[in-house]
């Protein structure tokens, strides 16, 4: 196996090998991307990074901005249209989006420039407070018409780049001093879908992981191609699994099972269990092939990123599963919530320090991330109702945190590995009941669905 990898790496360093690898990768990549322009830009960027590695950062920045130009509505594409319709305003929304993108990048560039001269205390907390203040102002009914649509469009853009901006602020002392290249790392071109989680983290981490010579680049590209082919197999397996589960076995989706519960005609408890199990498997497989396809693209560009999802079903503890399931989201919570808490609080109480930092990351940070991710709910229901209606997901984050903390306290893994994995699967299957970010169903209704799984018919109604 080692000999085969060495031969593949040597072949990938030749001109013929590079062309072959890029051709195969381009074909496989086309099965993952719906937008032809985004695909073409990504492939051209990979060609440039392969044959002109010394210009890698300029190529990444150029490809990132080019992707943004052809796909500016990559996040919350209909939010401004909803506000415009509600305000009875006729406005050129594409031009408004480009204008707000320009305003945002000017603001981000100015902030990064200021931080080179004067350090801003707790910059990430300042970002969160600033965004919340914008939401509060937008919900205050003090502005209307074109002004309100413009405000919401800026909020939309700001929230989509929130965590990319946050990483840039904590990396402000990085040796890369050219602002266009720093801003070009925001939502890099390999992050082609609607994810607002920075895959690869910030500029400092990307620089540390980039290829230093031709041999490293070839090895990364071979691993990137292998990972993308693995993602294709996972995608095929997911399609087959969904077809068998839902078309052949007639197992409903977990959303459909929950709706039937609300309507007063629930499926039998065993059918609901099957729907939850299928939803759990599908969510893991879908995240695995999508997230790792991003990573594969970054590897071919010359950045040796760790996998986003790595064998989560082999995890024997809840904490281990959380680390393997969505690595870069977990890292975001660790970087912005766990470490700041761990370094400041309960320094003389080791166990309490760990548990409190974990709570701040997996509970508080998790809630903050998903609340700002779904700002459309604020526009639809108002700020107060958007906060109070988030109770189900807040309960989900609390249960997740309790599970992680318990697994941290019980450090030794169970002797029976299969039994340990079964417990983890059961925990996350049940957690699916509360993994709900909407505002049109309440916590009591989800608790009623949970009771139904164990044969109890509740009458909880919000």
Digits of tens for pLDDT over the chain (462 positions)? 666 667 888 888 899 999 999 999 999 998 888 778 888 999 999 999 999 999 999 999 999 999 999 989 888 889 999 999 999 999 999 999 999 999 999 999 999 888 877 777 788 899 999 999 999 999 998 999 999 999 999 999 999 999 999 999 888 666 656 788 888 888 999 887 668 999 989 888 999 999 999 999 999 999 999 999 999 999 999 999 999 999 999 999 999 999 999 888 899 999 999 999 999 999 999 999 999 999 999 999 999 999 999 999 999 899 999 999 999 999 999 999 999 999 988 888 888 999 999 999 999 999 999 999 999 999 999 999 999 989 999 999 999 999 999 988 876 655 677 888 889 999 999 999 998 888 888 899 999 999 999 988 654 444
Kindly give the residue spans of alpha helices, DSSP state H, lying in 345-440. 350-359, 366-373, 376-381, 383-388, 391-409, 417-431
Helix segments in 210-334, DSSP class H? 214-242, 254-262, 269-300, 318-325, 327-333
Does any domain span residue 208? no
- Which phi and psi (to 5°) does residue 108 adopt? -65, -45
Three-class SS of residue 100? Answer: helix
Show which of 160, 195, 230 is a domain's final residue: 195
271, 378: one domain:
yes
Sign of the alpha-carbon dihedral angle for 30, 33, 38, 42: negative
Whether residue 201 is contained in a domain is answered as: no
Q: Is residue 210 included in any domain, yes or no?
A: no
SS3 199: coil
- The verdict on 145 and 235 lying in the same domain is no
pTM: 0.92
Query: What's the distance, CA 34 to chain centroid?
Result: 19
> Is residue 385 within 8 Å of 370, Cβ to Cβ?
no
Shared-domain flag, residues 140 and 267: no
Residue 128 belongs to a domain: yes
Domain count, the chain: 2
- pLDDT score recorded for residue 246: 93
Domain stops at, among 129, 160, 195: 195
> Domain range for residue 397?
217-453
Residue 110 inside a domain? The answer is yes
């Amino acid at each position: 196996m080692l000999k085969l990898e060495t031969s593949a790496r040597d072949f990938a360093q030749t001109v013929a090998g590079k062309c072959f690898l890029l051709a195969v990768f381009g074909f496989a990549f086309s099965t993952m991307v719906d937008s032809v322009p985004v695909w073409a830009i990504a492939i051209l960027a990979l060609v440039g990074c392969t044959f002109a590695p010394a210009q890698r950062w300029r190529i990444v920045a150029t490809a990132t901005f080019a992707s943004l130009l052809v796909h500016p509505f990559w996040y919350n594409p209909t939010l401004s249209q909803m506000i415009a319709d509600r305000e009875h305003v006729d406005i050129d929304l594409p031009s408004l989006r480009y204008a707000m993108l320009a305003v945002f990048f000017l603001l981000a560039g100015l902030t990064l420039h200021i931080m080179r001269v004067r350090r801003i205390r707790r910059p990430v907390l300042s970002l969160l407070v600033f965004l919340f203040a914008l939401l509060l102002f937008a919900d205050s009914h003090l502005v209307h018409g074109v002004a309100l649509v413009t405000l919401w469009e800026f909020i939309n853009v700001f929230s989509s780049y929130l965590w990319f901006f946050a990483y840039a602020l904590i990396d402000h002392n990085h040796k890369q001093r050219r602002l266009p290249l720093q801003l070009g790392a925001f939502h890099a071109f390999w992050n082609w879908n609607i994810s607002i989680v920075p895959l690869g983290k910030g500029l400092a981490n990307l620089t540390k992981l980039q290829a230093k010579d031709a041999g490293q680049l070839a090895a990364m590209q071979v691993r990137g191609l292998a990972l993308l082919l693995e993602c294709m197999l996972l995608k095929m397996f997911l399609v087959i699994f969904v077809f068998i589960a839902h078309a052949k076995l007639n197992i409903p989706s977990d959303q459909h099972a929950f709706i039937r519960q609300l309507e007063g005609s629930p499926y039998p408890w065993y059918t609901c269990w099957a729907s939850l199990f299928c939803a759990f498997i599908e969510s893991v497989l879908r995240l695995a092939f999508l997230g790792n396809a991003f990573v594969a693209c970054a590897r071919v560009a010359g950045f040796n990123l760790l996998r986003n999802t790595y064998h989560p079903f082999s995890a024997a503890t809840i904490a281990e599963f959380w680390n393997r399931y969505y690595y870069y989201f977990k890292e975001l919570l660790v970087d912005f919530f766990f470490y700041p808490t761990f370094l400041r609080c309960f320094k003389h109480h080791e166990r309490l320090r760990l548990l409190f930092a974990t709570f701040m990351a997996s509970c508080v940070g998790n809630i903050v991330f998903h609340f700002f991710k779904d700002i459309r709910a604020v526009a639809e229901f108002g700020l107060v109702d958007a906060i109070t209606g988030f109770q189900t997901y807040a309960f989900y984050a609390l249960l997740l945190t309790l599970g992680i903390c318990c697994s941290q306290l019980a450090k030794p893994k169970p002797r029976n590995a299969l039994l340990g994995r079964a417990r983890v699967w059961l925990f996350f299957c049940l957690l699916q009941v509360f993994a709900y970010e909407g505002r049109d169903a309440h916590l009591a209704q989800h608790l009623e669905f949970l009771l139904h799984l164990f044969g109890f018919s509740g009458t909880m109604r919000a």
